[in-house]
Amino acid sequence: MSESKLAGQFFDAAIGLLQRVRDEESANVAAAGAAIADTVAAGGRLFAFGAGHSSLAAQDVVYRAGGFAVMNLLTVPGVVGVDVMPATLGSALERVDGLAGAVLDSSPARAGDLLVIISLSGRNALPVEMAMNARALGLKVIGVTSVAYATETTSRHLTGTYLKDHCDIVLDSKIAVGDAELTADGIEAPFAPASTVVTSALMQAMMAAAAGELAERGIEPPLLRSGNVDGGTEWNGRVMTEYGDRIFYRH
């Protein structure tokens, strides 16, 4: 099988998944957008969390051109990326009981805020406890996960529950268990994961819905512009000053 054929198959698989989530998750995306708009309109703050590669989709909506200035990354030391040495430590920390509570207690998150939790499997202790503790603190919780894992894997949380069980709104990425879209003769393991593509698209669709919802209410969405276009830096400076009390990645 040629390399170009495999590349094309991956694009086809990713496009198929994007079409599925567009069609099947539209109501949940709209609900998530409305919840974000409610939070912004009420003066609340926005946070996104993901562990391991799920953190990529969380980082994609924080401090970026075309994104909400008030979206903050909720970080858990050691699990945000593969820059930790050894990288396998991040996977181990996802299974540690009590870590999520400690992180939330020391974070600026408070009642009335909103937290988006991204976890492909939703089975590890960290995202489950993060959702449980966030709701206990009075935060609205949106989960972005693959619901299939809840029926095809075993939870690693002591309650036997998954991220999806502790969210106000769930966006299902439809990613198959194992997160690999392709197989081929001569290649022993399945390969070509699509979760980052699909999850990032869900995140951006949700934020787009929130921007539209705010505009319909007559509220200017707190958007950042690219610093590489004329006037972008000045625009961003104004937005960051206006919303400075809701932005935590600057200090």
On the question of a cis peptide bond just before residue 86, with omega within 30 degrees of 0, the verdict is: yes
Sheet of 140-145: strand order equals: 71-73, 46-50, 114-118, 140-145, 169-172
38-87 residue pLDDT tens: 999 999 999 999 988 999 999 999 999 999 999 999 988 878 777 677 87
Helix then strand then coil, in percent of the chain rounded to 5, is: 45, 15, 40
Cα–chain center distance at 88: 21
97, 132 contact by CB (below 8 A): no
- CB count within 10 Å of CB 122 equals 30
pLDDT of residue 62: 97
Q: What is the pTM assigned to this prediction?
A: 0.94
pLDDT of residue 38: 98
91-109 residue pLDDT tens: 777 777 777 888 898 899 9
- Return the ∠ at Cα 250 (arms to 246 and 251), rounded to 5°: 95
pLDDT of residue 2: 67
Alpha helices in the chain, H assignment, sequence order: 3-24, 26-41, 54-59, 88-93, 99-105, 125-136, 149-152, 195-216, 232-242
225, 209 contact by CB (below 8 A): no
